[in-house]
Every structure is written in C-alpha cells, then in structure tokens.
Amino acid sequence: MSDRRRLAAAAGRELEIVTSHERLVALAAAWDALWRRCDGLVFQSHAWIEAWWRTATRRDERGLLIGLVWNGDVLEAVLPFATIRRRGVTILEWAAKEHSDYGDALLAPDRNQGAVAALWREIAATGRFDMVYLNRLLPEAAIRGVFATDVAARRLRLNHRSEISYRVIGPWQRGADWFGAQSKSLRQHHRRGRKFMEEAGGYRFRLLGPEEPLEAVLARVAALKRIWLKRHGYASDLFDEGAPALQALVEVMAKLGILRIFVLECSGTIAAVSINFVQRDQMMVFIPTYDPEFERWSPGTLLIIEYIQWSIDQGLSTVDFLCGGEEYKRRFATEAVTLESMTGARTLLGRMAIMADQAGHAIRSRRVSQPVNAERSEASVPVPSRR
C-alpha cells in the first residue's frame, strides 16, 4: 500500500509512505536519479534495498516504511526505513540494516527542509512501531540534519551503542611506498607467508574480471563464512546454503559497476577472498574471508596487504574496512571513525524496552572494565555479525 497526499504546510510538496514491494519496485527511476544527485552509497541505492526486501527472511515480522518527498515528478528525499518485531517490540530501523554498514537518508541539496520534517512526523503518525533505533551513523550522515531541526525528531537521543570504522589513509603515491612504511615484522610476515604458499603449489593474487561468473566464488565465500561463524558462535542467514541474499546484493554492486572481488589462490584453490566495492574514491571492504586450511600462512592478512597496495596504485584515496573493530583492521588502520546510533520511543512499550536496555547496559558496564562490543550486546535489537 501507499499513502500519497499533498500537504499545504509542506510548501506544495507531496509526501508518500511506501509499505508495499510493488510500489518500491515502481520507484526505481526516480530513486536512482536522487541517489546519483546525492552521491549516495550503495547501501542507500534503490537496487540494494529492493534486493534486500526481495530476499529477506522473517517476512512475517518485517514491514516497509519508506518515506518520500516529491516535488512534482522529482524525488527530493528518501527516508529508507523498515520495521521489525523483536521480543514483542516493533522497531523502526534502516531498511536493509543487517546488510548495510552505513545508514542514512537521501536528501537532495535543494530539498524543502520543512517537507522532510513533515515527512518524519507522518511516519511517526502511522503508528506502526514502538521505538526507533537508527545505527551506524557517520559523522556527516544527512539524517542528522533532519533530527537537529525538527522538534519531533529531537526526541531521539544518542544511544550507548557505537561502532568503529577503521580506514587506511595516507600520502603514499605507490603501493610499494605504503608497504615499505609498514613494520619490519609485517613485511617479513608477508614475505614468509607468500614464500610458503609458493612452495605449497603457487601464490596468485588477482582481481576477478567483470565477465567472470560469480556463482562459484560466492558459494566458496558462503561456505568459508559458515565455518567462521560456527567457530565463533555467530549466525547469519546471509551465508546459509542456498540463501539468495548474497548473490542478489553482489549482483547489485556488479550492475552498478562498483564491484571488486579480490582472491588469493594457492595451487588453484581460493585461500582468501574479499568482496569489496569502490565508491567516492574509496575501496570499501564488504565481506572478507579465508580458508582455515591455509591459516598457518595468514592468507587473510596477505590478501589485505595485496589489495591495499592495489588500491593505492589505482589512485584511490582510502581503504575503508567498514564496520567492526576487529584487531586485524586496527593493525592496518591510520584512522578510526566512530559510528553513532540514535534511539527514541513512540509508545509506552517502546519506552519500557529502552529503559530495560539502558539498565542492562549499566549493569554490564559495572561488571567489565572494557567497552561492551556493540554488535554482540544488543539486548533489544540483536544483529548477527556479517563478518
């Protein structure tokens, strides 16, 4: 269903709230035009969100709640939300949240700010959720401006959960310059691992070509991720055998021309693979994994070293490891960015859920001296790690 109506208070703009897949599909052209104007990340693209919804699990617990601002036939704003029911509480969150590292809205530079604020109030007035939880907000996230100017939106507050995004940024002109600036132990580790793999049957680093079939590589990625998830006690339906989501999301990146899949092979076998994409002059690391059979040679680390050098040689400004504070990312990073989250309640049930979560966080904080891992500690909104 869709509720599109003109509001006189919104300077002649039309506001629309999309709740059906059929209407979402029909928005492709207008959404794509706005996405390009905003230089949006793939996570806010129409194709990404449509692919997520088409392949989403737990459909009986989910709903679309996407807000739009129209200026005639031109789309000026998209607030890409969805709802999910967890433990009896219905939460408003980013659409495709579990597969997206940075959440945000699409807001045209010349948008009508009053119409966007009115749209947020209309979304709240639908009564379709108890609480709001919007995470992984970059410091420059466009949605922050909406929340800063509208009285209703200012009821949202920063949440205690935050995540880290590590990046590699520097003045190097060549990949070899970056490698030479690394520690002696890292350089030795790389050379030793490469030598051992060469002796074991060959060492081959390469970027998959745009015409190469993806099915076998993605099946390999999913199989290796299932091993990793089981070993560490996690779960993610993205990598379930036969699940369609991984293929659908990677195909979105391929069709947009931003996909970069790097593989490290030993004797024809994939020892490590990283599904990356390039946007905004940055290499973004979406899904890395490696074969534990090659673990003694650290193929994951070897692959990171290779694609960092490749990225610098291609003139890219940044290698962004996206979300997650894993030690291997910290080892390479020259910069860390904190991703904040915001939460707010619409109903009494929502307020109770937030209070319970805050109480749980306070108890955990007293019990441990180190920060609680954001992903693993989400009492009210648990999200399995993709990595």
Given a cut of 60, whether residue 385 has pLDDT beyond it is: no
Is residue 189 within 8 Å of residue 257, measured between CB atoms?
no
Structure tokens at 231: 């070993």
Between residues 320 and 159, the one the model is more confident about? 320
HSE toward the beta carbon, residue 234, CA cutoff 13 A: 20
Given a cut of 60, whether residue 327 has pLDDT beyond it is: yes
Mean pLDDT, rounded, for 278-287: 98
Fill in the DSSP letter of residue 42: G
Residue spans of the domains in the chain: they are 2-162+340-367, 171-333
CA distance linking residue 243 with residue 54, whole number of Å: 12
Given a cut of 50, whether residue 381 has pLDDT beyond it is: no
Is residue 25 very low, low, confident or very high in pLDDT (cuts 50, 70, 90)? very high
Give yes or no on whether 2-162+340-367 and 171-333 have one common fold.
yes
Q: Looking at domain 2-162+340-367, what is its CATH homologous superfamily? A: Gcn5-related N-acetyltransferase (GNAT) (3.40.630.30)
Is residue 326 very low, low, confident or very high in pLDDT (cuts 50, 70, 90)? very high
Between residues 199 and 279, the one the model is more confident about? 279
CA distance linking residue 291 with residue 276, whole number of Å: 18
**Mean of pLDDT over the chain:** 90
Given a cut of 70, whether residue 4 has pLDDT beyond it is: no
Residues 352-376: tens digit of each pLDDT = 999 998 888 888 777 765 543 333 3
The pTM of the full predicted model, rounded to 2 decimals, is 0.90
Residues 207-244: tens digit of each pLDDT = 999 999 999 999 999 999 999 999 989 889 999 999 99
Given a cut of 60, whether residue 383 has pLDDT beyond it is: no
Range of weakest confidence among 11-20, 76-85, 211-220: 11-20
Range of weakest confidence among 32-36, 198-202, 327-331: 198-202
pLDDT score of 317: 97
Is residue 94 within 8 Å of residue 80, measured between CB atoms?
yes
Mean pLDDT, rounded, for 166-189: 96
Q: What share of the chain is helix, strand, coil (3-state, %, to 5)?
A: 45, 30, 30
Percent of the chain clearing pLDDT 70 (strictly above):
91
DSSP string, 81-132: EEEEEETTEEEEEETTGGG-SS---EE-TT--HHHHHHHHHHHHHT---SEE
* CATH class for the region spanning 171-333: alpha beta
pLDDT score of 384: 38
